[in-house]
């Protein structure tokens, strides 16, 4: 019985906090460069541009989406909280398709071959690209996933989350940004 409780607690903790290869969740401003959250994710710094290869072999450049709101989501196929959050991102992409673009950045390395089959099985409807060390460092050295950034129409990071984010938190920020435009 104790083993069942312990396993249940571990699954619950992973679901809430995210997948972490390092124990240090508390990043300082120095660790994140210019992207340290102020309060609950507010940062207001220019998002680092990137060009990454998508799962279908195309180059995806962040700056190509300037003028739209962008959700950048670092994730992996082996991460339970990532898997739980992706359906919300699919819904957001459907509901806000004219104004918002979700870009999934897969940090899968050993499991890279699982990305496309996973995307097809769950119905991901937004571009997914493969991370490299440069983009991971540019976004503060991603240590836990999922890690998400919301980028406004001007290319500024306006929100950042580590761990599973309820859809309502995303949509609250999206609605505020859309009301400003």
Active-site positions?
79, 82
- C-alpha angle with apex 84: 36 to 167, nearest 5 degrees? 60
| Residue 121: C-alpha distances to residues 74, 81, 97 (Å) | 19, 17, 21
Contact 59, 53 (CB under 8 A): yes
CA 170 to chain centre: 11
What DSSP character marks residue 134? H
Strand, coil or helix: 52:
strand
CA distance 87 to 71: 14
């Amino acid at each position: 019985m104790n083993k069942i409780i312990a396993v249940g607690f571990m699954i619950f903790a992973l679901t809430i906090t995210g997948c972490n290869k390092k124990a240090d969740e508390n990043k300082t401003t120095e660790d994140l460069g210019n992207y340290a959250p102020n309060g609950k994710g507010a940062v207001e710094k220019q998002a680092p541009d990137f060009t990454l290869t998508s799962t279908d072999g195309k180059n995806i450049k962040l700056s190509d989406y300037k003028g739209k709101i962008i959700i950048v989501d670092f994730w992996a196929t082996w991460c339970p909280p990532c898997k739980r959050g992706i359906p919300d991102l699919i819904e957001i992409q459907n509901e806000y398709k004219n104004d918002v673009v979700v870009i999934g950045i897969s940090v899968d390395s050993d499991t890279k071959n699982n990305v496309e089959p996973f995307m097809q099985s769950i119905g991901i409807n937004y571009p997914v690209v493969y991370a490299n060390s440069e983009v991971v460092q540019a976004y503060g050295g991603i240590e836990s996933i999922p890690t998400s950034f919301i980028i406004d129409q001007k290319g500024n990071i306006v929100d950042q989350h580590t761990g599973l984010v309820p859809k309502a938190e995303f949509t609250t920020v999206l609605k505020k940004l859309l009301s400003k435009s």
